[in-house]
Amino acid sequence: MVGALIMAAVLLLSGWVLIRAVDPDGRGASGAGFTYRGDFYALSSAEVRPDRLGDVLDEQVPFQDTTTEVRRILGVSPDVAVAARLSPPEVGSGQGEQTWLLLSPAPDLAADPWSDRELSSVVQPQP
């Protein structure tokens, strides 16, 4: 009987820890990206087309050991995706332009923005 109570307590505690680890507010999220406006935005390898960059939404957003600027993507809600400069300009398209990468709170969209009709029109063609 005591063993069953201890097992039940362990299971309840484990469940609570698991729920806290995947908290929907983004605090428990992990991987490449950053927390922005309370949500974890996963980093994509897709570059946002320069002609689709909108206005600056925020500056000095913490990212790893530095900060970055977050910009709107024209025609896309910031709740779906944003752009951030996360690498030096020389890593970009080679024409002296800055590299702006797509980030999304939906990990599947960040992983493959080309599969989404809305996002595929705002990123560089798939390599």
- The answer as to whether 125 is a domain residue is no
If one counts the domains in the chain, the total is: 2
**Mean pLDDT throughout 51-67?**
90
Residue 102: how many other CB atoms lie within 10 Å: 27
Q: Do 21 and 40 reside in the same domain of the chain?
A: no
Q: Of the ranges 1-5, 19-23, 83-87, 121-125, which one carries the lowest mean pLDDT score?
A: 19-23
Q: Do 8 and 68 reside in the same domain of the chain?
A: no
Q: Do 45 and 86 reside in the same domain of the chain?
A: yes
- The answer as to whether 10 is a domain residue is yes
- The answer as to whether 127 is a domain residue is no
Q: Do 39 and 67 reside in the same domain of the chain?
A: yes
Q: Do 38 and 87 reside in the same domain of the chain?
A: yes
Report yes or no on whether pTM surpasses 0.85. Answer: no
Residue 110: how many other CB atoms lie within 10 Å: 23
Full 3-state SS string of 56-119: EEEEEEEECCEEEEEEEECCCCCCCCEEEECCCHHHCCCCCCCCEEEEECCHHHHHCHHHCHHH
Q: Do 99 and 73 reside in the same domain of the chain?
A: yes
Q: Which two tokens stand for residue 14?
A: 């484990």
**Mean pLDDT throughout 44-55?**
94
**pLDDT tens per residue across span 20-29:** 333 444 444 4
What is the C-alpha to C-alpha distance for residues 71 and 115, in angstroms, rounded to an integer?
22
Residue numbers of the domain that contains 38 = 31-120
Q: Do 78 and 16 reside in the same domain of the chain?
A: no
Q: Do 54 and 111 reside in the same domain of the chain?
A: yes
**Mean pLDDT throughout 27-46?**
80
Q: Per-residue confidence at 36, pLDDT binned at 50, 70, 90?
A: confident
With contact defined as beta carbons under 8 Å apart, do 50 and 101 qualify?
Answer: no
Q: Do 22 and 77 reside in the same domain of the chain?
A: no
**pLDDT tens per residue across span 68-119:** 899 999 999 999 999 998 755 444 455 545 689 999 999 999 999 999 999 9
Look at residue 98 in the predicted model and tell me its pLDDT. Answer: 67
CA nearest to 58, candidates 38, 44, 29: 38
